[in-house]
Amino acid sequence: MQLIAGRIFGAVFLLLSFLIVYFFMTRAVKGSVPKIRKMAGLEAIPESIGRAAETGRPVHYTPGTAGFSGATAGFAAQTFAGLSVLTYVSRLTAKYKVPLYVTLAYGEHIPLVESILRESYTLEGRPEAVATETKVLYFPIATSNAPYASGVLGLFERVRPASNIMIGPFYFEALAIAEQGFIEGAMQIAGTAMTYQIPFFVVACDYTLIGEEIFAAGAVVSQDKPLLGSIAGQDVIKVITIVLLLAGFILQNLGVDFLSLLKF
């Protein structure tokens, strides 16, 4: 292995980060599961589905518009977070006998979503209801996200969902769908780590999960111990990073070349 001057600190910090995350994941698996703070958007999901049950209108859910391969593969982690939350949402719709529409932009999501729905409804003792109470709609993306957005807008006008839940990666279609949901009077819960779409969700939706909150939400609803442990480990890494930044700021202003100390 060749060590390059100026990159050794980065390599050491990366290794330290791996060790910290592994430590907390191991602790969680052994029973020391960290507590994750409550998130208003996540807490509001049962309320939104209860509202759909009271009004007799359906729930709409989408895990975003990024695929597992190709140009959008880098955002797949957000899609998986959205699918984790779908598990929670579909169990609630099965419990309260609320129609559920799941719209997808990529065909590769269909088997996963259908599997999630079957498992959720089976766990709630209503496996036969999957065929009658859920619909998975595929509006394929070719060269633009517009066909998907158009499909969802048309669906909203036809079924007028009482709840619109959008967790995952989104592009320009985020505002179009959220605006239509607002027009239809839906209670809207959205979340994404696409920073340039977060302001639109904040303005148009009732609750918004911001950035990494969608990953925490997926871990919380699934109660996956390694995932919960990894979140705790990431928080420790953030604290270390902030401390280094503050130390560098103070030392640089005191005339100490802090950056030169890290160039090894």
List, for residues 104-133, the tens digit of each pLDDT value. Answer: 999 899 999 999 999 999 999 999 999 999
The residue-averaged pLDDT of 129-150 equals 88
pLDDT(260) > 80: no
Helix (H) / strand (E) containing 200: helix 198-204
Predicted local distance difference test score (pLDDT) of residue 1: 47
Reply yes or no on whether the pLDDT at 139 is more than 60: yes
Distance CA 177, CA 181 (A): 6
With both helix axes pointing from N to C terminus, report the angle between 8-29 and 225-253 in degrees, rounded to the nearest 10: 150
Predicted confidence (pLDDT) per residue in 56-109, tens digit: 999 999 999 988 887 788 889 899 999 999 999 999 999 999 999 999 999 899
Q: How confident is the model at residue 34 (pLDDT cuts 50, 70, 90)?
A: confident
User: Hey, which CATH number is domain 40-222, 3.40.5, 1.20.120, 3.40.50, 3.10.129?
Assistant: 3.40.50
Q: What residue ranges do the domains of the chain occupy?
A: 8-32+225-261, 40-222
- Helix axis angle for 225-253 and 213-222, nearest 10°, is 150
Q: What is the pLDDT of residue 261?
A: 59
What does the pLDDT average to over 142-171? 91
